[in-house]
Amino acid sequence: MNWSEMSDREDELRRSVGDAEEVRAAFEDLPLMMAAMDGPELRFVAANAAYRALAGGSAFIGEPLRGVFPEVGGQQVFEAVERVYATAEPYSMHEWRMQFGIDDSGQPKELYLDVHLVPRFTAGGEKRGVVGYITDVTALVMARLAAQSKAAEVERRYEQARDVIALLQRELLSPGLPVLPGLRVAASYLLADADTAAGGDWFDALPLSDGRVGLVVGDVVGHGVAASAVMGQLRAIAAERLHSGANLPDALAALDAAAGRIPGARAATVCVVVLYPASGAVSYCTAGHPPPLVVPVSNEPRYLPTSGAGPLGTGSGFPLAQATLEVGDVLLCYTDGIIERPGRARAASGAELSRVAADAAAGRGLRTGEFSAVERVCTHTLELLVRATGHSDDITLLAVQRREPLPPLEVRLTAEYGAIGVLRTRLRTWIAELGVSPDDLFRVTHAVNELVTNAVDHAYPRRGPMWMRASVDTTGTLHASVTDLGRTPGTADLISVDDLAAIPSHLERGRGLAMSQRLVDVLELEQAEPGMTARIAHRLSRPARLLIADDVRGAPSPVPAPGAPAEFLLILDEPSPRGPRIRLAGPVDAETATKLRTELARRTASHTHTLTVDLSEVTLLASAGVAALAAARAAAPADTLQLYAPAGSEADQVLTLVGFEHTTSDPDRIEASDGGGAATGPS
């Protein structure tokens, strides 16, 4: 090689090195995040600056994917990358919601990402790894959501159309789920991804005789109002037969007969399970329906074998199958919409369901501490699976978890005002373990509070013992009693249950017992020698979730967990353009009502302007509190005391129950919006 050729070669090498450096610089400067992974373990071999910024450095290079980002386990990220490597086919995830890292408040950081995964090959065409291209679209998604929230008129019309369908579905589906001492029950119903299409899926969880529980999940062929009507009829037949004491084959035979005479019912499928919570024994039939999934406490999830029965109305018999649940095991019944999602083979989708349900039950993946295991199975499973593929059919999930029965509550204290808050706190803590609905928590807490107050006020000349007992039976009915030993038959302060309805609302005497009777299903008074026992009974229930597609594209809202509200009353002055205003926070019971009476009397006696009392933060409004408000209104100059309790609040529910005039709209906001000329009236 002569000198000229050597010089040309050096120039070519310099140009090649320069080109490589330009490529490397361009790779580094790209605004999207890029990373390459090689081999079955998907070890990182390269990542640009944007990706390294997300990962917090470059120490992950050379490490496997699952070892680098353990916090995203259970969010279907690893599975997506591994599927691309296994199938050698590209895969994209649009606006994928992830929790990654911790924000400034210590909560999981929410991201929305567009992820494109493509297989990587060697020069010889052999499978080598996966390359990921990631764009952070969080700002765009949040901006779009903000813009959508401003489209008030469009949203209102959309909500009206959607609410009609939701109302139809709610009216035909089970009104609630039982709250049982040895089981935790949850359910979700997701309408097909067409917001105006009613569906033919149904579910039921039914306490039966001898402590048994019946679980039913069914699927009528087709969609629309006709399918919903058929579903409603079949659901009613199944519930009636099981409630009447029919055994499982007889209940299925009744459904089969109905499918032969109800148009549109033939070929409907159903899975019926009878569970004995005490022993964990399960008897079930899958009549053309996919089998239940069991998620054990410590082992791998498994599908139970099908029982061998065909769909309703097809002439099939109804053989049964048996299984056993251990304490802590979750049993999931579902309709085939969850395993027949677009772009997924049924077998692969079934495997996904078992894996994601197991992650949800164990609390892996999305973190929502307010949810129980069965609630996570019925919400996170929908979100994680449906957001990846969409769905074309209704999806119903019904999950139960076998638990150790909650022991009864028994508390003995001295009958004095200081005991009222103590007993209320003990009851709230105990009842929260059952997973009751906020409405039942409100009703039972208020009713028992009145029984305890009645014993404190009337049982003894000074002080004496009293007992509170509470338990839940196998029908889901809560029984609570308050007993004292201080009263004898004929005591003037005793009022019979028959007399309660006749008590005028303005009288204080007997108001608490009258409130209790209206709050719960049953109130009984039993006199002894000496003493009295007041008992309540109330059937507990918890709502299922009726969802549409938008509800599973973001985080589902948890049912608020019953908390432990403050047991002291605050009376706070608040600025108001309308005049004097105070806000009450905490419980207004027999112990704190005297303080409220004094404060209201002082504030209304010296003012001609209307005093607004904001009850939005009242955590308990007992009959003694209602009496204090009534006394203040009666003593104050005309129209100088206005009560504000937001719709659905604790105070609103009590005041509405006793027919006490108040407003559910904030007077200050009404005046601001109306230029000072709006008046508020009773709710």
CATH number of the structural domain spanning residue 600: 3.30.750.24
Using DSSP's 3-state secondary structure scheme, residue 208 falls into coil
What is the Cα–Cα distance from 538 to 416, expressed in whole angstroms?
26
pTM of the predicted structure, to 2 decimals: 0.74
pLDDT > 90 fraction of the chain, expressed in percent and rounded = 49
Same domain, 298 and 174: yes
Residue 325: beta bridge partners? Answer: none
For 108-132, write each residue's pLDDT tens digit.
Answer: 888 899 999 999 999 888 999 999 9
Owner of token pair 């529910």:
653
Last residue of a domain, one of 353, 387, 402: 402
What single string gives the DSSP state of each residue in 54-107? Answer: HHTSSTTTTSBHHHH-GGGTTTTHHHHHHHHHHHT--EEEEEEEEEEEE-TTSS
Token representation of residue 228: 């919903």
Residue 417 predicted with pLDDT over 80: yes
Angle, in degrees to the nearest 10, between helices 417-432 and 438-458: 150
Whether residue 193 lies inside any domain: the answer is yes
533-549 mean pLDDT = 86
Token representation of residue 107: 């909560």
Same domain, 388 and 416: no
| Across 155-164, 430-439, 565-574, 639-648, least confident range | 155-164
Whether residue 1 lies inside any domain: the answer is no
Same domain, 254 and 352: yes
What is the Cα–Cα distance from 313 to 316, expressed in whole angstroms?
8
For 178-231, write each residue's pLDDT tens digit.
Answer: 999 999 999 998 887 654 456 788 999 999 988 999 999 999 988 777 888 888
Whether residue 153 lies inside any domain: the answer is no
| Across 92-106, 156-170, 296-310, least confident range | 156-170
Same domain, 248 and 387: yes
What single string gives the DSSP state of each residue in 167-207? Answer: HHHHHHS-S-EE-BTTEEEEEEEE--SSTT----EEEEEEE
Whether residue 3 lies inside any domain: the answer is no
What is the Cα–Cα distance from 415 to 378, expressed in whole angstroms?
44
For 252-291, write each residue's pLDDT tens digit.
Answer: 999 999 999 999 999 999 999 999 999 999 999 999 999 9
Domain that includes residue 286, residue range? 162-402
Same domain, 185 and 276: yes
Q: Who contacts 145 (Cβ-Cβ below 8 Å, separation ≥6)?
A: none
Same domain, 23 and 172: no
Same domain, 203 and 172: yes
Residue 15 predicted with pLDDT over 60: no
Same domain, 114 and 223: no
Question: In the predicted model, what is the mean pLDDT of the chain?
Answer: 84
Residue 43 predicted with pLDDT over 70: yes
- The secondary element (H helix, E strand) that includes residue 257 is helix 248-261
What single string gives the DSSP state of each residue in 418-475? Answer: HHHHHHHHHHHHHHHTTT--HHHHHHHHHHHHHHHHHHHHHS-SS--EEEEEEEE-TT
Q: At 9, is the pLDDT very low, low, confident or very high (cuts 50, 70, 90)?
A: low
For 86-98, write each residue's pLDDT tens digit.
Answer: 999 999 988 888 8
Give me the pLDDT at residue 397, please: 95
Structural domains in the chain (count): 4
Token representation of residue 370: 């307010």
Q: At 99, is the pLDDT very low, low, confident or very high (cuts 50, 70, 90)?
A: confident
Cβ distance 264 to 222 under 8 Å? yes
Same domain, 393 and 425: no
Among 73, 31, 72, 64, which Cα is nearest to 130's?
Answer: 64
What is the Cα–Cα distance from 192 to 392, expressed in whole angstroms?
5
| Across 61-70, 224-233, 248-257, least confident range | 224-233
| Across 160-169, 209-218, 498-507, least confident range | 498-507
Token representation of residue 145: 């959501």
Give me the pLDDT at residue 198, please: 64
Last residue of a domain, one of 372, 402, 432: 402
Strands 570-573 and 581-588: antiparallel
Give me the pLDDT at residue 511, please: 73
Any idea what the CATH number is for the domain that residue 329 is in?
3.60.40.10
DSSP state of 629: H
Chain-centroid distance of CA 627 in Å reads 35
Cβ distance 561 to 370 under 8 Å? yes
What is the Cα–Cα distance from 148 to 153, expressed in whole angstroms?
11
Whether residue 152 lies inside any domain: the answer is no
What is the Cα–Cα distance from 634 to 605, expressed in whole angstroms?
12
Last residue of a domain, one of 359, 383, 402: 402
Same domain, 327 and 183: yes
Same domain, 268 and 331: yes
Whether residue 125 lies inside any domain: the answer is yes
For 463-482, write each residue's pLDDT tens digit.
Answer: 899 999 999 999 999 999 99
Same domain, 604 and 648: yes
Whether residue 551 lies inside any domain: the answer is no
Strands 183-190 and 545-547: parallel
- The values of phi and psi at residue 586, to 5°, are 110, -170
Using CB atoms within 10 A of its CB, is residue 53 exposed (0-12), middle (13-18) or buried (19+)? Answer: exposed
Whether residue 417 lies inside any domain: the answer is yes
Among 188, 222, 191, 230, which Cα is nearest to 205's?
Answer: 188
Token representation of residue 302: 């498994």
Using DSSP's 3-state secondary structure scheme, residue 681 falls into coil
Question: Could you give the angle at the alpha carbon of 403 between the alpha carbons of 237 and 308, nearest 5°?
Answer: 45
Q: Who contacts 615 (Cβ-Cβ below 8 Å, separation ≥6)?
A: 584, 621, 643, 644, 645, 649, 651, 652, 655, 662
Give me the pLDDT at residue 560, please: 46
Give me the pLDDT at residue 106, please: 78
Q: Who contacts 516 (Cβ-Cβ below 8 Å, separation ≥6)?
A: 446, 447, 450, 451, 523, 534, 536
For 344-403, write each residue's pLDDT tens digit.
Answer: 889 999 999 999 999 999 988 777 667 889 999 998 898 888 887 887 788 999 999 999
